[in-house]
Amino acid sequence: MSLVYLVVLPLLASFLTPLFKNYLKYISVILNLALLYTVFSFYGSLPLVENIGFDSSLSISFVATSGSLFFATLFIVVSLLFSLYNLANQNNKAIFIVTNMLLASVIGLVLSGDIFNIYIFFELASISAYILTSLNKDKKAYSAAIRYMIIGGVASIFLLLAIVLIYLNIGSLRLETIALNFNTIDLKIQFLVLLSLFIGFGIKAEISPLNFWVVDIYSGSSSKAAALFSSILSKSYIFVFFNIAYILNIEPIYFNFLVFIGVLSFVVAEISALSCQETKRIFAYSTLGQIGILFLAFSYGDIDILTGAIFLVAIHSISKLMLFLSLDILENHFGSTSIDIFKKFNSLFLTTIFAIGFLSLLGIPPFGGFIAKLTILKGFASIEQYSIIAIILIISVVEAVYFFRLLGYRYENQAKEDIKIPLVQKLSLGFIAITIFYLGVYPDWLLDISHFVASSFLKGVANV
């Protein structure tokens, strides 16, 4: 079995779409199950390196470590849950093609052991995201897609600049070779490379101050597209950026800068959400805030903090998938994502789903988000970073204000409409909610996996 199947299978499915246009939603589920089986087959032979193609600096190199395979598995699981949710909808050729392109590109991103191949998958992911943004086919969606394309072009330029500088000064694009020789090049060139990488990946990873455009993109996209952006796309960029940072063994001063950026992003995003009058924008700001925590946690290089961060990646991905897909149900019913829709719908099931998602993101027991944040906070306490703990706790109160405000609207005296939810959507959303609860009560197995993945991160160049 080859790692290339994880990329080729979803791409092949996209190209063969015209042959199966009446069965796309079923094929999507089968495809993701096949990918899940494939990815599990590699866990017994880690680390795994595959070089594909001719003997050249531009040949494809895939590297499977516990870290890259964990993220690939997470993306496939999210895609599978997304596909199960869509069984209730009519076959949609466009979303089937684009979601499979997106899945192939993010898996390629996290598995690539060559920075030029990272750039190729970076561009493929960007193209998929632009199309996803425009699928609503209205003025707001097209405007968001054009804006996304412009900002994405800027990110691509900076990433390409970093690649050119690396190749001119090291003569190789393999991450292993770059890592071994990075400290030998001029310090000014090192700084320029790191700055370019930060801007390129920072824009895509939605980190402050480079995320000024993100909320408008989420707002202009469908809730389904926003679910994929929050649960898959941003996580892939975070992994690749920090994987490169640890492989290059960059100086502590750069990580200190990333800590500051993480804190800034967390604080600004959560405070900005308070004034929002649209649910999709609130969820978007919440995502930016959680990404800030991830940036902060990944930047410390402490095994306990990293363990909590990996756990949070998994919990946040499935939580935001659940919340955005639940919002999709309301958006389809009311034609809006204004916060007023929380005053209008009558559904105990959706109310429960939203409550579980909100409480988990806030870090309230007995849900998985509590274990993730507790592990991160315990990690910071072990290295006596009490100011960081205080910031996280204080700003989490701000997050609680806007989440509980949404839930509070459910109890206002106003005529409410019953929401009919297809059984398959109830089952898929209910499964995610139960998983979030289960991981809050029995977290040890995922904590062990997260600790193993965190150790892989800290090995740096040994991974490639």
Q: State pLDDT tens for residues 221-274.
A: 889 999 999 999 999 999 999 999 898 888 888 889 999 999 999 999 999 998
Q: What is the pLDDT of residue 316?
A: 95
Contact 326, 422 (CB under 8 A): no
* pLDDT tens for each residue of 91-133: 777 888 889 999 999 999 999 988 989 999 999 999 998 988 8
Query: Tell me: the pLDDT tens digits for 286-327?
Result: 999 999 999 999 998 889 999 999 999 999 999 999 999 999
Reported as a pLDDT band with limits 50, 70 and 90, residue 371 is very high
**pLDDT for residue 55 is more than 60:** no
Residue with tokens 């995502």: 287
Q: pLDDT-derived band of residue 57, with 50, 70 and 90 as boundaries?
A: low
Task: Using the predicted structure, report yes or no on whether residue 90 has a pLDDT greater than 90.
Answer: no
Q: Which domain holds residue 414?
A: 5-463
Query: Mean of the pLDDT values across residues 337-356?
Result: 90
Which tokens belong to 151? 């900002």
**Amino acid 104: pLDDT:** 94
Tell me if 92 sits within 8 A of 24, measured CB to CB. Answer: yes
> Does 210 have pLDDT greater than 70?
yes
Is pTM beyond 0.85? Reply is yes
Rounded-to-integer distance, Cα 51 and Cα 53, Å: 7
Confidence of residue 411 (pLDDT cuts 50, 70, 90): confident
Tens of pLDDT, residues 2-22: 888 999 999 888 887 777 777
Contact 366, 419 (CB under 8 A): no
> What pLDDT shows up at residue 227?
93
d(CA 92, CA 162): 38
Q: Looking at the chain, how many residues does it have?
A: 464
Provide the pLDDT for residue 53: 63
Residue 48 is predicted with a pLDDT of 84
Q: What are the strands, taking DSSP E only, across 263-394?
A: 345-346
**Is the confidence at residue 464, as pLDDT, over 60?**
no
- 43, 46, 52, 56: CA torsion to nearest 10: 160
How many Cβ atoms from other residues are within 10 Å of residue 330's Cβ? Answer: 22
The mean pLDDT value for 341-347 works out to 86
Buried b (16+ CB within 10 A) or exposed e, 413-428: eeeeeebebeeebbeb
Once rounded to an integer, what is the mean pLDDT over residues 48-64?
73
Confidence of residue 59 (pLDDT cuts 50, 70, 90): low
194 — pLDDT class (breaks 50, 70, 90):
very high
Q: Is the peptide bond before 365 cis (omega within 30 degrees of 0)?
A: no
Burial of 347 (0-12, 13-18, 19+ CB in 10 A): buried
Mean pLDDT over each residue of the chain, to the nearest integer: 89
Which has more confidence, 47 or 82?
A: 82
The pLDDT of residue 435 is above 60: yes
pLDDT at 404 over 80: yes
- The domain total for the chain is 1
Q: What percentage of the chain exceeds 90 in pLDDT?
A: 56
| Model confidence band, residue 147 (pLDDT cutoffs 50, 70, 90) | confident
Instruction: Identify whether the C-beta of residue 314 lies closer than 8 Å to the C-beta of residue 255.
Output: no
Least confident span in 54-58, 172-176, 269-273: 54-58
